[in-house]
Amino acid sequence: MTGHTIGYARVSTNEQDLTAQRDGLAALHVPKDRIYVDHGLTGTNRERPGLREALAACREGDTLVVTKLDRLARSLPDARDIIEDLTKKKVKLSIGGNIHDPTDPVGRLLFNVLAMVAEFESDLIRARTREGMQVAKAKGRLRGKQPKLSKSQEAHLVSLYKGGQHTTTEIAELFKVARTLCARLE
């Protein structure tokens, strides 16, 4: 590979760990100071600061390296847009050590198939999540956002508010709620 290697890694939740991806990028000869990451952002969201920085760091002759295509994009249109931007800048894309050649018909086909698989996986994850939420709701385990205050706490807050002896700020601090909640409950 000529030019610099720039790495990109992403995990969808803040609880997930980037170690495996960082190790994979290091094995693909990406220097640690050229690895850009996104924590807690899905691949379907193109507005990712780490991705923006990685793409901005790429110059003609460089190679953007990802361990797997689904770390870069989770939709076919997004993957195509990214590869189009890289191609215009004359930047190569390495997916797990294999260089994608956008001028080769077989390379384009394989890229599109991988991008479709990544999008399909994302769709399956969403479907399983929705299904799990429906099951939890049917079993009474999913009740939505719980109220901050119990009914008795709410009544006490309202009586303090209407009593006029305390400011909204004082009441909000006492009950650990937003000041706007105090005004809404009167």
Residue showing tokens 């009586």: 159
Residue showing tokens 């939505």: 144
**What is the rounded CA–CA span in Å between residue 1 and residue 63?**
7
91, 58 Cβ separation under 8 angstroms: yes
12 is catalytic: yes
Q: Which residue, among 159, 130, 154, 128, has the nearest Cα to 142 in the 3D structure?
A: 130
Distance (Å) of CA 67 to CA 24, 28, 41, 42: 6, 9, 17, 16
Which candidate in 12, 75, 94, 122 is catalytic? 12
Annotated catalytic residues are 12
